[in-house]
Structure formats: C-alpha cells, structure tokens
Amino acid sequence: MGVPLFKIRDIVNRHDVVVRSSNYALYGDLSERVMSILAAAAPQHEIYSIDECFLDLERLPVKDLTAWCRDLRGRAKRWTGIPVSVGIGTTKTLSKIANKLAKTSAKADGVIDLAGHPEWIEAALTKTPVGDVWGIGFRWSKMLSERGITTALQLRNAQDGWIRQRMGVVGLRTVHELRGIACHELDTQPAPKKTTCCSRSFGQAITDKDQVRNAIVSFAERAAEKIRHSDQVCGSMQVFITTDPFDTTAPQHSASASTTFMSPTADSRAVVTSAVRILERIWRDGYAWRKAGVLLLDLSSVQDVQPNLFTVQTTQSDGLMKAVDRINDRFGRGAVGLGLSAKNAEWRMRQDRLSPHFTTRWREIPRVRIDNVSSDCTPAPDPA
C-alpha cells in the first residue's frame, strides 16, 4: 500500500532513500515495450495491468519451459532494462503465486514453474499468506484468518460448501483455481470499459475557485480524449472535489454531483461545459481543496448509440474533435485544447523529483560521452 511521503520522512532521511515523482509517460512507454516483447513470444496473451501479463504457454513446442522463460526474461532485460519475474501454473491464480515467489526467491533466478513441478505446489501454497492470494481482499482475508485459514494451502483444502456459503461463487472459483482447475480463461479480447476517470491530487491545497475550475476543465478534456481514442461515447458524468484527509488542522469536506447527457457524446466541448456546471453546483467557499476528478459513465460504442428524436446528433466523427486529436497525437498532449492553463499552475502536480523522460522526449535521451584516450602504442609499419 502507498504511504504519503510526509509520514515516512524520517525513514527517507535516515536511509538516504531515493524519492521520485510519478512519471506516467515513461512508465506507460516502458510498459508497452515490455508487453510487446512478451506478446511476440506466445500465441496468445492478456495484458492484465501496466506491469502484469498472462501468456498462453500450453501450445508452445518447448520441452523446457523454465529455460524458455529465463531466455524471455533475459531478452526483456536486455532490450528494455526492466527486470521481469515469471510464474508458471496450470491456472491464473497458481501462476500469480509462482510469480510472487519468483520475485523473492534467490534460487529461482526469476522463474518458478509450478506446472512442470506439481510437487512444489503444496510448499508454495504453504508459504503464501491467504491475503496474498489473487482475488482475496482485505475483508475476506480477515474473515478467513479469524476462522484459522491463514495460508493458501488451508484455503485450497477448505470445504466447497463452506466457501460457497461464506464467499459465494467468486470465492469458490478461487479455491478451484488453487486446486489446478482453471476457472479464469485467458481474456484476449477485454470487454470495453464502462467508465473512464481522470483525477489528480493538486500540487498544493487550493482555495481559489478559478484554479479548481481550470483543473476540472483539463481533466474533463483528457477524459473525453480517452473515450474518443476507444471509439466510445459517454451517457453521463460525475465531478468530485475533496480536501486533504491527512491535514487534521483544516476543515474537511468532499462533494460530488453527476449529470446525464441528452445524447451520448465524446465531444470535449459538451463534456467540459457540463463539468464546469457541476462544479458550480458543488463548490463551497472556505475549504482548501486537494484533489478533483471527472468520471465519465455509461460508456458505449459509437455504433451502438440510439438516435435521439429531439436533439441534434453530434458524433465522434465531428471534424473539430478529429483535428484536435490529430494535432495532439503529432505534437504532444496539450498542444491544442480548450482555454488556457498555465504550465506552472498551483493545481498541477509538483513533480519536483521527476525522473527524465528517457524514451519519450528527444531532449531527455541519455547522452554518451567518449573522451579521447591517448595511446603509447607504436603505429603499425606501412605495408609499402
């Protein structure tokens, strides 16, 4: 779990910890590079998150999967500099357990194969706390621990009827996966998103309404851009603002409200206009706001939109929005937008410790300097 920096400042100073600000462009680019290497190695894959990917290894013509995975791991390290750990299992849940152990075991060399070594499964489940099992959240972990189930092995051996009664079908599937029965197939065609959110914590607490409005405009514009790239439109939206929960000396308040569009849209102008109207409704003077966000709801494909008899239809193919997206894709996000917002506005994240954009900005590409080295060697004689 993440911890606010100010809470561990003494640990950072005591151990000379290197602190970096979030660099989402760099993380996303490196993630895409690693995922492309992994995806090219297997017939099917599922990108589960920014740093996790499931591969289908069942149909690979390979005798030694451990050696093959170590070679793949080395390839990713050479080509991107990112270390990768690999866990192999007959189910997704077992593969995630193997992956976690591969990260912490010095003998594993980054790869653990529970599918090829079923005799290791019981020991692996014994070492895994029940709270570390994929799909077991804090609430279930607490309930299971209170009833004496503290390891993944004990969860695997629990009775089906009791699990079904206490945890429902979802919990029962997790238990079956621990037993080697696949319940979660590889999802090579993820379902379209139903919501999209753009939110940020401000660089400092903001009391000025104009500053918060500028932030909301920026978030709404970014959220609309996201759904256009997914060929989607939104049917409703929500805007929220909140104070700093860690500042016990300041009054606390959070507010949110939503609205429904007469016709689903992905037009930045409509989304921004509605977001500003919502902000006017929920704004309260006298509070120092620390975070805000825009949530687009009821997303659907542009092709699935039902025409509204009483409104003029505007779709994603609107020429202005297409032109804006093309310009921003070519010259960088924010090259063209609605309104003006200072680059150093108070609401923007401080990012005082931002690492360089090594792979996404030309001017920040690492430079290599080769100094002239003198040599005392005598030149080779002229062949002539």
Q: Is residue 22 part of a domain?
A: yes
DSSP SS3 for 74: helix
Residue 380 confidence (pLDDT) above 80: no
- Note whether 145 and 62 are same-domain residues: yes
- Note whether 215 and 128 are same-domain residues: no
Rounded CA separation 363/31 (Å) = 21
> Considering only CA atoms, which of 306, 248, 228, 235 is closest in space to residue 274?
235
Q: What pLDDT does residue 316 have?
A: 46
> Considering only CA atoms, which of 134, 120, 126, 114 is closest in space to residue 157?
126
- Note whether 152 and 269 are same-domain residues: no
pTM for the structure as a whole: 0.74
- Mean pLDDT across the chain, nearest whole number? 87
Residue 377 confidence (pLDDT) above 60: no
- Note whether 212 and 150 are same-domain residues: no
DSSP SS3 for 119: helix
Residue type, 41: A
Rounded CA separation 318/299 (Å) = 18
Instruction: Note the pLDDT tens digit of each residue in 88-114.
Output: 999 999 999 999 999 988 788 899 999
- Note whether 231 and 140 are same-domain residues: no
Residue 343 confidence (pLDDT) above 70: no
Q: Which residues contact 344 (CB under 8 A, 6 or more apart)?
A: none
> Considering only CA atoms, which of 214, 339, 345 is closest in space to residue 275?
214
Q: What pLDDT does residue 270 have?
A: 93
Angle between helices 92-104 and 160-178 (to 10 degrees): 60
Domain that residue 52 falls in? 18-178
Residue 227 confidence (pLDDT) above 80: yes
- Note whether 167 and 214 are same-domain residues: no
Number of compact structural domains in the chain: 2
